[in-house]
Structure 1
């Protein structure tokens, strides 16, 4: 069937189209943010260890990461709306599999495909929305899309906690099904037979498969390292050798192609390398610490899923407003200054959180999380400006594909790495607690009136809580030190001062690029 270019949507169709694409964007990101608060419930529901439940979150994010470059290629090859509609149909089907799954590995496979299909819709949805606006109003379309970028992620944990406590964690997927099918149906009907110019570039399938195997293998290695005792497991040693070999071959393969899956030659540019390192490690620590804290608040400190999610609500207050402010001030100041100040703000936040010592003192978490929301809002814009500086326009979108993939994959790796830190530090603090409270008769424990079994149980509970709090504090302190290092690193990049007056087209393109890196 032939395609037609068609006129832009008008009236109620245009408003409905904007609403559907906004909801589609929020739905995919919400499935990443809300799921974090559900991890202990997922572990209990499937009868698996908590580390395996975290595995289902990290591989969802790997699926999201791999989908970004694929979505861009599909848009160029087939147009945006057909792959977008198909992706949401797959999203609904895999949500149904997740909702019904009772076996872990089938559920894990469905989560990966859910993340991949959702990740396809993010670049496709943005392109679809922007195209429906006339040139002089495209900035409005960019603004509409940006509204749904950070908000679902920051509001996701409390809403996800409420769903888990009230309805059960599987209801996250039951809600996905009608929403995804409605979005696919409405967008398909509104854009029926819509066409456009297409480019017949060959897809680098080998590069995609190799990178997928490397990332999924690395994530499996990190997620199962603590369970299988690392180098004492021949399975993990073999997996590490496999991942190293595949990753090495992938690099050689990508460098040999004219149009590779990812343009890794960009790492030859200083600003890109420094910007991507800061973006990658910054998000790695942010995502890993967020997931670790929300899980430990439930499993160790006795918070419900809803209360643990509410701890992160302060981040939503300033995250989006600060992102809007940074979109403007980055045009007038050197991105190195803004990035360095923002990274130091993260360092201050995590040093502050490393003093957490009272599980019942909500203010010890509220104020640092408020600051973290401010820093999150200003995190992506200056680093995106830094890594794109000096690149020709035709290479900037390739740089964004690479940056988006690596940033999301780093978030998944960060979740696993923070679990490793917690696993390594907890025994040390357990030993210290036992040494400092060797006598059950110590007054602070108030165990004199209990029998031996009750006293031992209470002692073990107090020791477990103490070791986890101190291990969390260690992780926050290490993150604070790492952010100080990143704040220094960005000054080794070339300055990025830009004129105050730039064309409206260039301004819009830059803002769209910044939003792409903020997604998911």
Structure 2
């Protein structure tokens, strides 16, 4: 049976025990969840922000875009910045920046001030994922790495799912500003806890030269790519000149970034780690697909149930939450099972197959579906994500040593975020195109020679004449408008179902990648100097 080999302890590194270990675990999980919750908590408040600040929905979308761009820029740089500033200092500073920016977001007097502070919040929050993961690995002994991975993966799934639930509650019962203010007490407590209990690793990697070129190319390239993904669909992609220009900038910058990082002596992001670990490369692809599926499905489902089935934001979050809770419950046992020799290939095969079935089932829902119809299928989603997240997270660092761990966690978290951005952008565009296609198809069946269509129109006209007392000519207009509304609803319903099926197809096509995973039982890795 294939297993992920345990690591040899570093004699210079003292692992935590007792209450201190529990406090550090809670601190890093809460910090990581703060970052992930804020990727989705604002989504349900966009309408209220638009009305309160007098901004268009298009301008308000920058509240999400700016946070995502900052996130995806800083995540791969976290290992480098941790070495430069000291991991503990960098971590505490990032929590404080995130918390202060949250306060300023809630106090923003206009939309563009809010966008700017959201960007700062994203810079602070982006560091929390990879650095929290590295701290967690250093806190637990090598033989407990599976447990640590399970705990961390629990936060990865709970955060994005808990965001809409918390956001819906705050918007419905308080004001949109509380989507930001809620971070302040939690952030201050996390910063105090990190200052009090987290220590610098004994093994440090001094940075003698700052790779400004690499940092600049990464910021421009990834920032441009994220901008394209966030704004492309609403701007009709390459029909808008500046989307084309940003695409060119992104491609050129990212190619230059890869070339530079492979040829400079002290890169900000050491891409050579991909060559040193075949499993990391495979894990990156799988993580991208998981990010696509997680965020893509999490984008389509609320839109479907709220726009077509009439769910409130709070009900939507309530329906989704048990799924994340299931992932949290099974994360720890799965991590321990992997550490004891369970096959990551077998677990991931089951998880990805279950996610295919989950998406396929959602693709069969009707306009009569209620919250009870989604309970079991969403629980299956929770099980599937647990069986995917934990093995792929461990796979990313299997066989790596020292500072390579920090680079691997940063790259893997960046790929997950990019996968989510691609998932939302591609799914949004696909839905728009499928709505148009289904509309044409449905209209092709409506003609004066179609008995069913004629009978439907006559029934609506008769009902309008009897109930509203309108004239025959007016009743015909009422009937045509009603028919138009039905066609629009049905077109969107079919398009949403297609989107779920597309995600299912992507996961099914990714299953063969699992055959290329090779884990050497003799490999040893040292996580004690991950940063």
Range class of TM-score, shorter chain: 0.7 to 0.9
Distance apart, 1:141 and its partner CA: 7.5
C-alpha distance in 2 between matches for 1:228 and 1:137: 48
**Which stretch shifts more, 23-32 or 195-204?**
195-204
**Which stretch shifts more, 15-24 or 166-175?**
15-24
C-alpha distance in 1 between matches for 2:376 and 2:198: 49
In 2 relative to 1, CA 112–409 (structure 1 residues): closer, same or farther, beyond 3 Å?
A: farther
Equivalent residue number for residue 4 of structure 1: none
Equivalent residue number for residue 463 of structure 2: 449
Match of 2:332 among 311, 324, 331: 324
For the aligned residue pairs, the C-alpha RMSD in angstroms reads 3.8
Distance apart, 1:350 and its partner CA: 0.8
Indicate conservation of the 8 Å contact 1:429/1:467, yes or no: yes
Distance apart, 1:477 and its partner CA: 0.8
C-alpha distance in 2 between matches for 1:489 and 1:51: 39
Equivalent residue number for residue 254 of structure 2: 247
Equivalent residue number for residue 271 of structure 2: 264
Equivalent residue number for residue 161 of structure 2: 154
Distance apart, 1:356 and its partner CA: 1.4
In 2 relative to 1, CA 275–145 (structure 1 residues): closer, same or farther, beyond 3 Å?
A: closer
In 2 relative to 1, CA 285–136 (structure 1 residues): closer, same or farther, beyond 3 Å?
A: closer
Indicate conservation of the 8 Å contact 1:130/1:138, yes or no: yes
C-alpha distance in 1 between matches for 2:268 and 2:287: 21
C-alpha distance in 2 between matches for 1:306 and 1:460: 30
- Say if 2:183 is the partner of 1:169: no
Unaligned runs of 5+ in 2: 1-13, 448-452, 465-469
Unaligned runs of 5+ in 1: 1-6
Spell out the pairing of 1:10-49 with structure 2 (5 A cutoff): 20-46=27-53
Q: Any idea what the Cα deviations from partners look like across 1:361-384, whole Å, max 9, x if unmatched?
A: 223322221111111111122223
Structure index of larger Rg: 2
Q: Please, what TM-score do these two structures have when normalized by structure 1?
A: 0.83
Distance apart, 1:129 and its partner CA: 6.3
- Say if 2:119 is the partner of 1:96: no
Distance apart, 1:276 and its partner CA: 1.4
Equivalent residue number for residue 3 of structure 1: none
Aligned length: 501
In 2 relative to 1, CA 161–335 (structure 1 residues): closer, same or farther, beyond 3 Å?
A: same
Distance apart, 1:338 and its partner CA: 2.5
C-alpha distance in 1 between matches for 2:459 and 2:51: 31
Equivalent residue number for residue 488 of structure 1: 512
Equivalent residue number for residue 74 of structure 2: 67
In 2 relative to 1, CA 350–74 (structure 1 residues): closer, same or farther, beyond 3 Å?
A: same
- Say if 2:287 is the partner of 1:273: no
Q: Please, what TM-score do these two structures have when normalized by structure 2?
A: 0.81
**Greater RCO (CA < 8 Å, at least 6 residues apart):** 2
Equivalent residue number for residue 370 of structure 1: 379
Equivalent residue number for residue 316 of structure 2: 308
Indicate conservation of the 8 Å contact 1:334/1:495, yes or no: no
Indicate conservation of the 8 Å contact 1:80/1:127, yes or no: no
Tell me the SS of whatever aligns to 1:260: coil
Equivalent residue number for residue 290 of structure 1: 298
Distance apart, 1:257 and its partner CA: 1.3
